Every structure is written in structure tokens, then in C-alpha cells.
Amino acid sequence: MTDATELRRRTQELLAAYPPASTDRLDFLRARFDAGLAWVHYPEGLGGLGAPRSLQAVVDAELEAAGAPDNDPRRIGIGLGMAAPTILRYGTEEQKQRYLRPLWVGEEVWCQLFSEPGAGSDLAALGTRAVREGDDWIVNGQKVWTSSAHLARWAILIARTDPDVPKHQGITYFLCDMTDPGVEVRPLRQITGEAEFNEVFLTDVRIPDARRLGEVGDGWRVAQTTLNNERVAIGGMRLPREGGMIGPVSKTWRERPELRTHDLHQRLLKLWVEAEVARLTGERLRQQLVAGQPGPEGAGMKLAFARLNQEISGLEVELLGEEGLLYDDWTMRRPELVDFTGRDAGYRYLRSKGNSIEGGTSEILLNIVAERVLGLPAEPRTDKDVAWKDLAR
């Protein structure tokens, strides 16, 4: 069994064979993957050693101390947090070997083609169609709110393959090459002035059946793995104390006493405590992941993340007064990363409005927590047993 001592030994061997100071960044990352030190809980041959997930921190600490490069996890977050665990669970051996290494190294960026103009909160109502033609599927439809589509080589895609069954049953999950003919990416300009999101049009896109993930018609179940991991990735990210949104406002409070009022002091204390509770809860949730796949509890973390970001950024704008309304960059940009802490308070306030939509709307996540975590009665649903083609749209 691989333990911490063995992982330290393997890490030191990697560093000796590929000194970070003199090794090309990608070459080092490829060697790290091949040594099983990318994500140690993955199987051998797929970047891991079958070790407990908790031991990843041992490897990361050794590599950080040696000045080794990381794989820029924020840039490839959709691949790491959503595509990879889904491919690992449902992919064929050929798919795992083909996609996981370039995904983790960062050679190939991924995006998510799930939401549609008429199927956001009610994702199972999606209308993008995939029709079988020999060994291929012909896909037509439109997706929206797609982060990183302008950068991505690959996409995880769900499409309707059987309109004659209820909406949750007729969906299939695919891996879509974003460079294929018929894939068109258009920017969506946000309230921040940026175009971090996109809409994607799919016109007669041909996807080989070999790029189907899971069984035909089982796409909703496969997608649940993606969505559960997404919510953990968004709401349960590892942060230091005063990491995230609470950091900048706390720093401003300490450095600018002339802005302080009693009311703002009380609100800041309350939000600071809540942010720390959320951080520690996220740590516990990650420890639970050691035992298996993420469950619906991640929805609660994502809910807390959205509410806290919006309340903290609102408090920061009030604290700064007129200065908090300033925002120095309204130019149309296509950012690779969303940077919450390195920008103006005005940017944080505007961008945080999207937190209650992306990764599942807060209203839908409240239903998930109520039904799947607390065991409360489900809301009445009249469309569960109706064929998708017969639903009102």
C-alpha cells in the first residue's frame, strides 16, 4: 500500500530525474503524470497510484517546496473538476488513456455544453438533438453560458437521442471536439464588460459513437457525476483563512479605519465567521470525498458560496462608498481566468451576481438539498412520465 513515506520517495525521484529549474514545464508535468503523482487517488497508468486522496497534499507540498510548476488548475478547472471524474467513472479504457493525460497536463482545455436557452434550471428539458447515422451521431442545437468555449479543444456534451421517452431518459452523453466543422462559438458580453461566457451553435456536427460516454439514453445519470463534481469544485475549493472574497474587504477594513462604522463592523464580523465556517465545511467535505464519489451535499456548499460572495461584495461596495462604484475596465475582453480578488470592488460586486446561476441556480440547489440531503417531500412534478416530445415548450 502506498503511504506518505513512499510518496515522498517517489516525488524526490521525480525531482532528481526532472529538475524543475532546467526541465521544460510540459515535460515536467508529463513526467509527473506518468509517475502517478498527478492525482494519487486515480488508478495506476492514469496519473495515480490508487492511494488515498488525502495523500495528494504530501506530493503537492514536496513539489511546491522544490519550486516545481503546477498545471495551472484554474485555467483547466472544468477539465479537472468535471470532465476527468466523469471520464474516469464511465469512460472506456481507450477514452481514459486518450483524454486524461493531456487534460491534466493542460495541453487540452475543456468546456461544458449542458445549458440551453430553454433548458437552464430544468436541464433535463434540453432540446439539442443527436441522431444516429451509422457509426456517427449528427448533432444540432444551441448551448449557452459556456465558460472557456473560446479556449477549449474538447467539450462534455449532453444531447437528446430519444424524444419519445420522458425527458430524463432520452439523453446521451458525448465528448465533442470543439474544432470540428459545425461548431460555432459566439461571445456573450456580461455586465462586467467581459465575454467570459459563450453561446455555442452546433450545426450537423458529426460525433463518432466512440466518443459517447456511457450507454445510449443513460446520459442523465452520467451527467449527475459531472454536476455533483462541479458543485464541489465551485463551492468546496481549498482556501486559506481569509481566502476568497472575504480577504479584500478584511484588508480594506484594517488599512482604512476612516471608512469604518458600527453597522458595517457588525456585518463584517458576521460574514467573516460565516466565510470561515464555509471554508472549514468545505475541508470536511473534501475529506469525505476520500471515501467515494461526491453526493448532493456539494449543492449546499455551492449555495453558501454564492450567497456569501454576493453579501461580502455588497458590503465591500458600501464600505468604500463612492469609490466602491468605480470600475476601471469596461473593455470587451475574452479572459482565460475569472479573477475575483485581483480586480476592483465594483468588478467583484457585478461578477458575483452570476454565482447564484452558474453551476446550478440557487433555487434548484435548494430543492436538491431539501429532497436529497434533508429527505423532505419532493415538489409535485407533472412531467416525469410524459414523453419529451409531448411537453409544452
CATH of the domain at 289: 1.20.140.10
Query: What pLDDT, in 10s, does the model give residues 211-254?
Result: 999 999 999 999 998 987 776 666 556 678 888 889 999 999 99
Residue 357 has pLDDT above 60, yes or no: yes
Q: Identify whether residues 247 and 267 lie together within a single domain.
A: yes
Q: Identify whether residues 210 and 234 lie together within a single domain.
A: no
Has residue 194 been placed in a domain?
A: yes
Residues taking part in catalysis: 230
Compute the distance between CA of residue 208 and CA of residue 133 in angstroms, rounded to an integer: 9
Q: Identify whether residues 42 and 167 lie together within a single domain.
A: no
Has residue 184 been placed in a domain?
A: yes
Residue 32 has pLDDT above 90, yes or no: yes
Q: Identify whether residues 204 and 342 lie together within a single domain.
A: no
Q: Identify whether residues 349 and 231 lie together within a single domain.
A: yes
Has residue 160 been placed in a domain?
A: yes
**Residue 38 belongs to what domain range?**
4-70
Q: Identify whether residues 262 and 181 lie together within a single domain.
A: no
Has residue 8 been placed in a domain?
A: yes
For residues 45-75, one letter each, b for 16 or more C-beta atoms within 10 angstroms of the residue's C-beta and e for the rest, the string is: ebbbbebebebbebbeebbeeeebeebeeee
**Overall size of the chain counted in residues:** 393
pLDDT recorded at residue 393: 74
Q: Identify whether residues 210 and 315 lie together within a single domain.
A: no
- Map grid coordinates 479573477 to a residue: 339
CATH number at residue 160: 2.40.110.10
* 19-23, 131-135, 307-311, 354-358, range with the lowest pLDDT: 354-358
Q: Nine-digit cell at 323?
A: 469609490
Has residue 80 been placed in a domain?
A: no
Residue 81 has pLDDT above 60, yes or no: yes
Has residue 100 been placed in a domain?
A: no
Q: Identify whether residues 243 and 369 lie together within a single domain.
A: yes
Q: Identify whether residues 359 and 254 lie together within a single domain.
A: yes
Counted domains in the chain: 3
Kindly report the average pLDDT of the chain as a whole number.
90
Q: Identify whether residues 149 and 168 lie together within a single domain.
A: yes
Rounded average pLDDT over 125-135: 97
Compute the distance between CA of residue 279 and CA of residue 240 in angstroms, rounded to an integer: 8
pLDDT band for 121, please (50, 70, 90 cuts).
confident
